[in-house]
Amino acid sequence: MRETHSSHRRAPPASAARIALYEAGAEARFEQVDLRTKRTAGGQDFRRVNPLGLVPALELDSGLVFTENAAVLQRIAHAHPKAELLPSDADGAARLQQWLCFIGTELHKGVFTPLLDEQAPAEAKAYALSRAPSRLEYLASKLSGREHLLERFSVADAYLFAILNFALVTPVDLKPWQAITSYQARLHERPSVARAFQEELPLYREEQAALKRRAS
């Protein structure tokens, strides 16, 4: 497996796919993509992998390539059934998909993407930010009294952890929702999450430094 992720990530570590691959104990090669130049660290044009230039992309040993977080995460989980990263029954699978869809549409694209996009006008950012409290209230109500989104750790937790980290570099404030911040703290103690975070942190710091150099 080969997984591509952003070098100009405009967000702190760790990526959801990396967490899932570590959970699965998968043999995987990671390749960074510079989202400005759309070049991989190996010098390839990433648009040939995903014409939209969006990460992550997952390339299987078969050569098949998958994009979009929900698909990449579920494909990793299916390839490693022993890790039990998704439920095997129809209701459980649908509940997982409900969370992946909520995180992708309501949090990732509905709130954070405009806030992270340097090209987005201030009003688009304000509009996105105004949508955050109702979404976080809903999420907190579902996390309250639970350890994970489902009965046990799943790829939805990997995705949620990664997306919640966007709050560190946007005006989204998670502090009013203690069920969310304690969930983040719990997840961070998980070896796969801690490892992904630790390995991506130097890349992140490097990028932040480069961003500052460009801005000055």
Q: Which residues bind its own copies (CB under 8 A)?
A: 51-52, 60, 62, 64, 66-72, 74-75, 78-79, 90-91, 93-95, 97-98, 100-102, 104-106, 108-110, 113-114, 120-124, 126-128, 134-135, 137-138, 141
Q: Do residues 29 and 214 touch, judged by C-beta distance below 8 A? A: no
**Residue 198 beta carbon to its own copies: minimum distance, rounded to whole angstroms:** 28
Q: Which is nearer to its own copies, 23 or 207 (CB)?
A: 23
Minimum distance from CB of 49 to its own copies (Å)? 13
CB-count exposure of residue 127 (10 Å: 0-12, 13-18, 19+):
middle
Amino acid identity of 173? D
Q: How far is the CB of 110 from its own copies (least distance, A)?
A: 5
- Least separation in angstroms between residue 13's CB and its own copies is 21
Q: How far apart are CA 179 and CA 140, in angstroms?
A: 5
Q: Which is nearer to its own copies, 12 or 133 (CB)?
A: 133
CB atoms < 10 A from the CB of 104, how many?
16
Q: Residue holding tokens 């439920």? A: 87
Which residue number, 27 or 91, has a Cβ lying nearer to its own copies? Answer: 91
Tokens encoding 33: 């993509």
Query: What is the smallest separation between the CB atom of 111 and its own copies, expressed in angstroms?
Result: 10
Tell me whether residue 42 or residue 121 sits nearer to its own copies (CB atom).
Answer: 121
Report the Cα 163 to chain-centroid distance in Å. 5
Judged by beta carbon, residue 111 or residue 187, the one nearer its own copies is 111
Distances from the Cα of 58 to the Cα of 62, 113, 134, 166, angstroms: 11, 21, 32, 22
CB of 77 vs its own copies, minimal distance in Å: 10
Give 152-208 as a DSSP string: S--HHHHHHHHHHGGGGGSS---TT-HHHHHHHHHHHTSHHHHHHHHHHHHHHHHHH
Residue number with CB closer to its own copies (138 or 205) = 138
